[in-house]
Amino acid sequence: MKKLSLLFIGVALSLNASAAWHFTPYGSFTSKTKVKNSYNKASYSVYGFDAGNENFTFGYKRTTYDFDWQTTGFEHLNLIYADAHYAGEITGNLGYDVGTYLSLGYENSIKVSKSYDLVPHAVLTYDFQNDWSMVAGAGVSFNKANNYGFGIIGFKYRNPSDLGFSASLGYPKTSANYRFTEYFALGADAGAIQGGHYYLDRSKVYAQEKGYNANLFALITPFNQLSVKAGVGYNIDREIKFYRNRTYFGNMKFDNEASFFVNGTLAF
């Protein structure tokens, strides 16, 4: 992915959020689907947690693949990540957000010099004061597989906690929500799968997850400090791309598949 791409940075569109900490455990599970150009089939599950506040986030994600035939060379993918950023005001409605994301993706053991993915970014933010806000900027991903630069652009309409309609427009994810009451909302989102960058220590290659998905979900907020989100999804053109010595040499593609996911967020 050497070419310029667009990326939606959700955290930069939430600059007015409170400084309270959050803790979000999550899990998702897919149906079994065919591995293209083979007789193999696979399903996978993802679980982990995300925690932080408006300036710092950290988390852990584990993806477990269940293949009919274990001839793939890997079974578990682990990702430890953190993001630190700082937002400020330039003048009036114009602001900025600068930060760095760091992840360590590995199979069995962490090798920092091989597993890292360092992603600094900088954006300008603008509040139109008519329920709309936007971000625009750029970032660079530095890793051992394929360094690349990307553009950042995104628009936000109202806050999902507001009654009625709200939306976030951008890439890799666009979402829309309708909050019926302070306790219940329905929503949908679609975009690119943000899998991760991993070093497979047994085969000594790098793997990156790619693809697209669409989701429908319900959001229940019994009180301000707790929300639960659950829904169903559909994954499209999902694949794992492999690199060696910064050179792409193959992939593993999957037929489209359905998924179920649930997460809960505790704020304090």
Model pTM? 0.87
Question: Containing domain of residue 31, as a range?
Answer: 6-267
Cα distance between residue 191 and residue 186, in whole Å: 18
Cα distance between residue 109 and residue 111, in whole Å: 6
Tokens for 216, please give them: 């429908």
Residue 76 within a domain: yes
User: What does 62-96 look like in DSSP terms, one character per residue?
Assistant: EEEEEESS--SS-SEEEEEEEEEEEEEEEETTEEE
Residue 20 within a domain: yes
Tokens for 166, please give them: 């709200």
Residue 1 within a domain: no
Q: pLDDT tens digits for 180-210?
A: 999 999 999 999 887 789 999 888 999 999 9
Q: pLDDT tens digits for 112-153?
A: 999 999 999 999 999 998 999 999 999 999 999 888 898 888
pLDDT of residue 72: 59
Total tally of structural domains belonging to the chain = 1
Look at residues 105, 62, 76 and name the one whose alpha carbon lies nearest to residue 197. Answer: 105
